[in-house]
């Protein structure tokens, strides 16, 4: 795997995880009971972006290491997954 491919894979994993982690631990202004004028009631009180970015980075690094090792050391190849062959080749 080239360095560019590795960077793209890491960025994709990181972005997907961040989109999954971002809604966690959200408290809206309406739930908190203190809506700031000019903002929607559903806006978060404290989005905790730094905490979520750090958590995302840790999890993404572990998943990337697993994916990279699987690809680089050929622990799982397309030949191992026979149900992925097209019907015309069966």
Alpha-carbon span 63 to 57, nearest angstrom: 10
Among left, alpha and beta (phi > 0; psi -120 to 50; other), residue 74 is: left
Mean pLDDT of the chain: 91
pLDDT at 86: 64
- pLDDT mean over 3-15: 97
- pLDDT mean over 47-65: 97
pLDDT at 46: 92
Decide if 80 contacts 65 (C-beta within 8 A). Answer: no
pLDDT at 90: 58
- The parent domain of residue 83 ranges over 3-89
Whether 63 shows a pLDDT value over 70: the answer reads yes
pLDDT at 74: 86
Number of compact structural domains in the chain: 1
Contact residues for 26 (Cβ-Cβ < 8 A; gap 6+): 44, 47
pLDDT at 85: 64
Contact residues for 61 (Cβ-Cβ < 8 A; gap 6+): 10
Whether 88 shows a pLDDT value over 70: the answer reads no
């Amino acid at each position: 795997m080239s360095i560019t491919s590795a960077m793209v894979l890491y960025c994709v994993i990181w972005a997907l995880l961040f989109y999954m982690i971002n809604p966690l631990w959200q408290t809206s202004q309406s739930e908190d009971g203190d809506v700031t004028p000019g903002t929607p009631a559903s806006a978060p009180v404290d989005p905790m972006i730094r905490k979520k970015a750090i958590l995302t980075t840790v999890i993404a690094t572990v998943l990337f290491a697993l994916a990279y090792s699987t690809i680089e050391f050929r622990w799982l190849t397309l030949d191992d997954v026979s149900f992925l062959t097209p019907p015309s080749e069966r």
